[in-house]
Copies of this chain bind each other. A is one copy, B any other.
Amino acid sequence: MDSLNDLKEKMRRFVVERDWQRHQSPKNLVMALTGEVGELVEHFQWMAEDESREIDGERKRAVAREMADVLIYLTRIADELGIDLVAAAHEKCDDNDRKYPKDKFRGEYRRPDQY
């Protein structure tokens, strides 16, 4: 049940059944993704870092729903552009492995670089 392909197919059918394709250009979908990320951020903005590690109950369910929205739009964009999202992520992981050799970066964290 962790397949993104099923999700992609389900969402594509959802959009086609409502005839919403013409609204869902990659440009617009990227904006919609941004909006959902904004809603996700709102849950964390006043939290202490430690607190953010321990959310549960209703808050956790609400966060899961916002993250679901982000994944849904990300999957839609990838489908519209013909991008294999999971393959791209694995490639990026392998790049990161080379860029940040574990022996050299152990315990070190360069800001504001992102891995």
Contact = CB atoms under 8 A, between A and B. Distances in A.
Interface of A: 1-7, 10-11, 14, 17-20, 23, 25-28, 30-53, 55, 60, 63-65, 67-72, 74-75, 77-78, 80-81, 83-93, 96-97, 100, 102, 105-109, 111-112, 114-115
Contacts of A84: 1-2
A77 to B, nearest CB: 7
Chain A, interface SS category: helix
Contacts of A92: 65, 68-69, 72
Nearest to A93: B10
A68 to B, nearest CB: 4
Contacts of A51: 27
